[in-house]
Structure 1
């Protein structure tokens, strides 16, 4: 996928995050010498083309007091995984939820949901609520707890020299 010089400048200007001000797009647009409408149109176009996946907040859950973060994994009946995954993803304590192929025989899980809480006990309670929501469509589950933040960045452009 090709991007032009302006798109490259937009990515470079936003790859470290947007400014924490009331009108972040206006600030970025001003720094780039374009108007805010053009900036937003170009971001939408890059997203539509698959150049970028999304513009999203990437909070530091630890700084927000969410000290227990667990990736719950679920073996959900294939016929129900899309509907149930959407329901799990809509829960306010799940930051992201997605379907992935199983890696049998060692990994039977096809639904992943990141659960956040202030303690492991809270996360376990929330995992129990998800299990109840999934009901008989769920054949097994587990949870993998975070021990550190490994990545909190989005797209990064390499310099043309590198």
Structure 2
């Protein structure tokens, strides 16, 4: 299981004050440090993290939910190894889509089964005309090309051009990591006010 601490956007009704953006007290920081490389693969992961940081599993879960609501944690999710699942052809498709239609078409592309990432990026003319990116995974290059053709049909006349950029090697993917040592239960005790 993976914990992503990258902020993609502020939740509704949040300001950009330092507390809402960076807002980690010592206990929250200890939880992030303990989980940023992944949750323990045990039946009660919150309890295991709690033992490591010196609090109950219930409190760990509650604090993680609060950090997620504040936008500090984006998500907690399983991250399968797609190579071990047989998805050995991985292609980032890049699309030159009419700017007036790219937002709604991007949403449609993101809904397609087999698209794991889909996002808009600025063009860098004259060398890079592509403004919509969609990552495809397949058991073969032919499968990825078939998926790309389905996207091409969906985009219709709004699409001027596209390319498939295949992965040539596997790089270890990690999200943002906070600096610091993993906490010990004694050092992670939240401050108690009496």
Please state whether the residue corresponding to 1:127 is helix, strand or coil.
helix
Query: What is the rounded CA distance, in whole Å, between the counterparts of 1:141 and 1:109 in structure 2?
Result: 7
Gap runs ≥5 in structure 2: 1-21, 182-194
In the other structure, the counterpart of 1:70 is: 91
TM-score normalised per structure 1: 0.87
Q: Does 1:150 align with 2:166?
A: no
Equivalent pairs counted in the alignment come to: 160
In the other structure, the counterpart of 1:10 is: 31
Please state whether the residue corresponding to 2:75 is helix, strand or coil.
coil
Query: What is the rounded CA distance, in whole Å, between the counterparts of 1:75 and 1:90 in structure 2?
Result: 19
The correspondence for 1:112, drawn from 123, 133, 141, is 133
1:76–1:109 contact (8 Å) kept in structure 2? yes
Gap runs ≥5 in structure 1: none
* Structure 2 CA distance for partners of 1:86 and 1:25, relative to 1, 3 Å: farther
Query: What is the rounded CA distance, in whole Å, between the counterparts of 1:67 and 1:29 in structure 2?
Result: 37
* Structure 2 CA distance for partners of 1:38 and 1:143, relative to 1, 3 Å: same
Query: What is the rounded CA distance, in whole Å, between the counterparts of 2:61 and 2:170 in structure 1?
Result: 30
In the other structure, the counterpart of 1:102 is: 123
Deviation at 1:18, TM superposition (A): 1.4
In the other structure, the counterpart of 1:123 is: 144
Q: Does 1:40 align with 2:61?
A: yes
4+ runs of 1 displaced by more than 6 Å? none
